[in-house]
Structure 1
Amino acid sequence: MKKTILFAPATYNLAETTRCIQIAKAIKKSARCVFLSYGGEFEFLIREEGFQLHRLKPSITTKKTIHLYKIHHGKKLGELFSRNEIDKQVHAEIELIDQVKPVCIVTGFSPSTSISARVRNIPLVWITQTTWEIKTALNNMTIEYFDKLDFPVLQVLPNIIKNYLSRILYEIYSRLIIRPYNQVASKYKIINFKHFEELWKGDYQLQAESLWFNRQKTKSNEFFIGPLLAEIERDVPKQVKNIDRRKEIIYLAMGSSARKELLLGIIESFRNTDYLVITPSKSYFKDQEYNFPENVIVTDWFPAQIINDIADLSLIHGGIGTIMNAIKAGKPIIGIGMMAEQEANLLAAERLGICMRISRNRLRMDELHSLIRLALADKNMLDRARHYSKLIKKEDVNKSISSFFSQVFAVN
């Protein structure tokens, strides 16, 4: 009989949902893959793949999703979930664990499983990335300070002071998030989380990136499986199929974390330029009609790798999936981070010599276009991008995933 693995993705988030799905697809022949969900925009992707899905309560509403994104993106301080919500999540998860009897739980970003798994003594596997380790990065100055502190009043301060302020801000952010989790954990007399980052440590960590990307040293409980890039079949929009390949093509993606006004400003800056810009950001602009530049194609979402393969440059926010897709395509990157994790990803790519980074608070369109021209003309940057593209393409992610579950949980 196949062993059961329980997946707990944050189905309101595309990246976390697809990462769990890809891992499940890699081991579905040797394991019984079961999913739990509290609802969300991307829950349907699990059903499309034919996996067993258990919908738990309390359901995540659209209003709650907006709140969660604001917390994740550092746009507000507060709790992800209330004590009452977490208590109900943990109770529902314990009941499901008792029902399906998994050998482990795999989660993208469902922190309640850090309690329920421990209550039932089930090994917990977190899908993570090294750039989530913001506390360490701030302490060793890998991240000097948060871009959100890079505004005129504070720009005159030394970086060491802005680093200190960033560490204080992150500590406040952490304490507000973990407080209700610790309140529920104390009810079950288990671990007291000292910091937000302890919520996602688990028993094992699957690092969804290449070992050379950010941190070469590994810890005893972490496994680098390589980038988990969404493999979702979608029709390519007609206007993208028929684009003029004679022009330099720019892929513009600011993800769910971008400010609409910022994205509009970037789009407008390409008016009357010789570039052809493709941006799958139509969902931002459904509230009214917009007069977009003729050389900017605004589409519904479709897989990034399709655009990356034809683009000459990626202008992106720096989410791990977006940046790994850009690296795989072997093209230069211009990065505008919208949150700390994205800033860390872009810093890592910058250290590899394949990215130019610009602070969103210092963003001027003339400077942005100057960087675009520099990146497109930089042969060395293109050569380095192609080098890392070859490295990514050599990685057998499915084999790495299968190897982990075989070695650790005897899933064969």
Structure 2
Amino acid sequence: MSTVIFCPVTFNLAETTRMIEVARALAPEHQAVFMGYEEDFASLITGAGFEYRPCQPAWTAAEREQALKFDQGRALRSPFTRELVAARVAVERRMIRDHAGAAVVIGSNVTSMISARAEGVPLFYPVPWALSRPQVEQVRRFRFIDGDGWIARTADRAVTAAFRWVYTRAPLAPRALASVARENGVVPLRTVASLLDADVNLVTVMARELEGFSLPRGYSRVGPIFAHLGGELPPIVHELAAADEPLVYLALGSSANRELALTAAAQLGTLPVNVIAPIRHYLRAEDEVPANVRVTDLLPAHLLGGLVDAAVLHGGQGTVQTACATGIPFVGLGLQPEQVWNVRVCETQGNALAVSPKRVGTPEFVAAVRRVLGEPSFHEVAARVQQAMAAEDGAAASARIIEAHLAR
């Protein structure tokens, strides 16, 4: 039996659930042990039946907000102090030794890039294609400047080239990571791209999303991985699905904020629809939403197929893939470049519309929801995408690659 250490960022819902799916897919002779620093979604790990080791030092709320801004490219300053990085690397190295870890699987927990390599243990990363090193190196246009005219194309290619240099060449990784890496005998992490580049990168997308790109050594396509939360849908979902009004699903993952949640709920309240909204973790006790918006805790969204007519999503890969796998067309808000890319892929194929999060409080957002609900083409494409995704199992493919490495 081999032990596989899973180290997601446990205040990131998508990462935590993605790790759970891969752990579930491992063969019974392998043991999965989870570790993490924050408690937000740790209960999902223990609820799935896995051992979880809470570790320190954890980030404060302010440090987590700063980490999220850094991850989304909205800030250059990070909360990775030398003391925190050194302490976490020491904890992770001890975790690997104490459990005789044969492999480490991560989300975006960058200190694992140091600890696993210092212990000589292979590092696996189920990772979105968007903003991966090879994607940034090869993409011609990120559409930072939208439009298809000559001026827009030229300007966007220039901005994309500048972004590529900053992302893959500029020494913008937190200095603490480089100094602690050297102290642990590991090649320093210097660029933003190096923080997302494991020994084996498991690309969690459909094959069509890689058209025009090539995968370098160390990258393998495994297919979509999205959450299958335990439990059943609450009765209110079935009640609303049986009503005459269309049912809209509002899900904003763990990378949105209270203001966006309230604004989206208020705008959906102006439409003749019912809304099921697992956004309770964003709201305060005194917050009010329209009467047609039912706020809930997180739901097993993979069970919503056939019940929901359309969705409004933040654009995270797991949430988008869940909508695709259940045949639900959606309006995507794209809160950061990776999410914008995820939404654009679906908009191009015809099962989604993109709206800037800055436009959620405007008629543009309401019009987009009306279109996705009312135009048959969105539902027809969503059904075809659902059929294509039924043949994919990214978690199982990831587990087989990890096990092949363990066998060697």
TM superposition score category, shorter chain reference? 0.7 to 0.9
Compute the displacement of 1:87 (Å): 1.0
Structure 2 counterpart of 1:29, one-letter code = P
| Cross-structure match for 1:153 | none
| Cross-structure match for 1:331 | 328
| Cross-structure match for 1:14 | 13
Deviations 1:57-77 (A, max 9, x none): 213344433332233234433
The two structures, once aligned, show a CA RMSD in angstroms of: 2.8
| Cross-structure match for 2:348 | 351
For the residue of structure 1 that corresponds to 2:334, the secondary structure is coil
For the residue of structure 2 that corresponds to 1:184, the secondary structure is helix
1:209 aligns with 2:205: yes
Deviates more, 1:176-185 or 1:88-97: 176-185
Structure 2 counterpart of 1:258, one-letter code = A
| Cross-structure match for 1:305 | 302
Q: How many positions carry a matched residue from both structures?
A: 401
Compute the displacement of 1:162 (Å): 6.0
Compute the displacement of 1:146 (Å): 7.6
1:407 aligns with 2:401: no
For the residue of structure 2 that corresponds to 1:301, the secondary structure is coil
In 2: Cα distance, 1:357 partner to 1:175 partner: 33
In 1: Cα distance, 2:158 partner to 2:407 partner: 46
| Cross-structure match for 2:283 | 285
Counterparts of 1:215-230 in structure 2, within 5 Å, are 215=211, 217-230=214-227
| Cross-structure match for 2:122 | 123
Deviations 1:23-65 (A, max 9, x none): 1111150212222222321122222233333333213344433
**Residues 249, 311 of structure 1: 8 Å contact kept:** yes
1:368 aligns with 2:365: yes
| Cross-structure match for 1:237 | 234
| Cross-structure match for 2:89 | 90
Compute the displacement of 1:172 (Å): 8.0
For the residue of structure 2 that corresponds to 1:223, the secondary structure is strand
Counterparts of 1:8-407 in structure 2, within 5 Å, are 8-133=7-132, 136-137=135-136, 140-145=139-144, 158=152, 160-161=154-155, 164=158, 171=166, 175-215=171-211, 217-243=214-240, 244-290=242-288, 292-363=289-360, 365-407=362-404
Task: Tell me: CA distance 1:344–1:223, structure 2 relative to 1, closer, same or farther (3 Å).
Answer: same
Task: Tell me: CA distance 1:367–1:134, structure 2 relative to 1, closer, same or farther (3 Å).
Answer: farther
- Ranges in structure 2 where 5+ consecutive residues have no aligned partner: none
Q: Normalization by structure 1: what TM-score?
A: 0.87
**Residues 144, 160 of structure 1: 8 Å contact kept:** no
In 2: Cα distance, 1:363 partner to 1:214 partner: 30
**Residues 138, 144 of structure 1: 8 Å contact kept:** no
For the residue of structure 2 that corresponds to 1:35, the secondary structure is strand
**Residues 146, 166 of structure 1: 8 Å contact kept:** no
**Residues 251, 308 of structure 1: 8 Å contact kept:** no
For the residue of structure 1 that corresponds to 2:379, the secondary structure is helix
Task: Tell me: CA distance 1:203–1:296, structure 2 relative to 1, closer, same or farther (3 Å).
Answer: same
Task: Tell me: CA distance 1:398–1:172, structure 2 relative to 1, closer, same or farther (3 Å).
Answer: closer
Q: Normalization by structure 2: what TM-score?
A: 0.88
For the residue of structure 2 that corresponds to 1:212, the secondary structure is helix
- Ranges in structure 1 where 5+ consecutive residues have no aligned partner: 151-156
In 1: Cα distance, 2:257 partner to 2:157 partner: 24
Structure 2 counterpart of 1:30, one-letter code = E
Task: Tell me: CA distance 1:285–1:38, structure 2 relative to 1, closer, same or farther (3 Å).
Answer: closer
Deviations 1:165-208 (A, max 9, x none): 57657838974443221121122342133421212211101122
In 2: Cα distance, 1:34 partner to 1:217 partner: 33
For the residue of structure 2 that corresponds to 1:343, the secondary structure is helix
In 1: Cα distance, 2:17 partner to 2:313 partner: 19
Structure 1 counterpart of 2:143, one-letter code = E
Structure 2 counterpart of 1:222, one-letter code = Y
In 1: Cα distance, 2:134 partner to 2:95 partner: 34
Structure 2 counterpart of 1:294, one-letter code = A
Identity %: 25
For the residue of structure 1 that corresponds to 2:209, the secondary structure is coil
Deviates more, 1:376-385 or 1:165-174: 165-174
Compute the displacement of 1:364 (Å): 5.4
Deviates more, 1:270-279 or 1:107-116: 270-279
